[in-house]
Amino acid sequence: MQSLWMIVAGFFFAGMGVCVKLSAEAGYSLAEIVFYRSLLMLLIMLALVCWWKVPLATPHWQRHIKRGVTGFCSLSTFFYAISLLPLATAVTLNYTSPVFLMLMLIFFRGVRFNLGVMFALGLGFLGVIFLLHPSFEEKFLFGVMVALTSAVLTAMVYFDVSDLGQRGEPAVRTVFYFSLIATLLGLVWVAFSRFNPLTLHGFFALAGTGGFATLGQLAMTRAYSRGKTLLNASLTYTTVIFATLFGVVLWGEHIGWMEFLGMALVIVAGVFANCFLSERK
């Protein structure tokens, strides 16, 4: 039953996507959205570090910097994709990241290329084709490229986090340094872009982005710490379902049968990829 926390996490992550889209519609720049989200996460992680007395000294600071920069780029491209695409499409394309991670393991760690891997890769590729069927509007193609870039960067983040975990770095320290680096980079970005004053509507949208992201992380952590890994990996894709429902209800986004089929194929490919990745641990 602990794996049901992953469904809760899926709802919160979809809620984060909604708040990102609302923040963009309220006129806030991508730099501001990323900065405020990272700042709120940093404050929360700082409180947890102090509460749990987690030492921040680490011999792996170079790897933390790499993970932080990659995570910042992943976050930025994902948020940008959400502002350019229908919410469900952006989230689904970002969730091709397990397939890209599997490719990285094949090319960089010598993982064997078998029929299961080929099946997952083929399904993921076919799912993207169905999402981008010929009637897909040309104006969305740039957003699609941004979303797929965010998926590749997310896979790189998973790769780095796995490496840090194998070196004995506690999760709280890793997330803290990511939040710190993302906040600093976001602050520099905001300094060189336009800055909008906070309105009441804007405050709730921006705070919701960070708040939902934090709640999602906490729910996901609880699920993985006490639930079944493979079941958790499968339930991760409830985010796509919630994002689809939010998109239809809040923005009237139309989801045709080809989009639904594409989403289903991406989800199945991701589940197979996650099963493969779990077997490798």
Map residue 226 onto helix, strand or coil: helix
Q: Taking residues 5-30, report their average pLDDT.
A: 93
Query: For residues 139, 133, 249 and 220, what is the CA-based torsion angle, rounded to 10 degrees?
Result: -100
Q: What pLDDT score does 3 carry? A: 65
Assign residue 200 a region: left if phi > 0, alpha if psi is -120 to 50, beta otherwise?
alpha
Q: What pLDDT score does 29 carry? A: 94
User: What does each C-alpha distance from 165 to 56, 78, 172, 173, 175 come to in angstroms?
Assistant: 15, 24, 11, 11, 12
Q: CA-to-CA distance for 243 and 251, rounded, in angstroms?
A: 11
Share of the chain above pLDDT 70, in %: 87
Q: What is the pLDDT of residues 161-193, one digit of tens each?
A: 878 888 888 888 888 999 999 999 999 999 998
Q: CA-to-CA distance for 171 and 168, rounded, in angstroms?
A: 9
Q: What is the pLDDT of residues 194-246, one digit of tens each?
A: 888 888 889 999 999 988 988 887 787 677 656 665 566 677 888 988 999 99
pTM of the model as a whole: 0.87
Q: What pLDDT score does 209 carry? A: 94
Q: What pLDDT score does 130 carry? A: 80
Q: CA-to-CA distance for 135 and 121, rounded, in angstroms?
A: 24
Closest to 123 in 3D by CA, of 275, 265, 274: 265
- Least confident stretch, 115-124, 176-185, 260-269: 115-124
Map residue 136 onto helix, strand or coil: coil
Q: What pLDDT score does 163 carry? A: 82
Q: CA-to-CA distance for 38 and 181, rounded, in angstroms?
A: 9
Q: CA-to-CA distance for 241 and 237, rounded, in angstroms?
A: 7
Q: What pLDDT score does 1 carry? A: 55
Q: What pLDDT score does 278 carry? A: 60
Amino acid at 14: A
- Least confident stretch, 154-163, 236-245, 268-277: 268-277
Closest to 14 in 3D by CA, of 277, 196, 242: 242
Q: In this structure, how many other beta carbons lie within 10 angstroms of the beta carbon of residue 134?
A: 6
Using pLDDT thresholds of 50, 70 and 90, give the confidence band for residue 264. Answer: confident
DSSP character string of 227-242: S-HHHHHHHTTHHHHH
| C-beta of residue 128 within 8 angstroms of C-beta of residue 96 | yes
200, with CB counted inside 10 A (0-12, 13-18, 19+), is exposed
| C-beta of residue 180 within 8 angstroms of C-beta of residue 68 | yes
Helices marked H in the chain — which ranges?
Answer: 5-25, 30-52, 61-84, 87-94, 97-108, 115-131, 141-166, 171-191, 200-226, 229-235, 238-251, 257-280
Q: Taking residues 31-37, report their average pLDDT.
A: 94
Which of 10-24, 128-142, 259-273 has maximum average pLDDT? 10-24
Q: What is the mean pLDDT of the chain?
A: 85
Q: CA-to-CA distance for 17 and 210, rounded, in angstroms?
A: 10
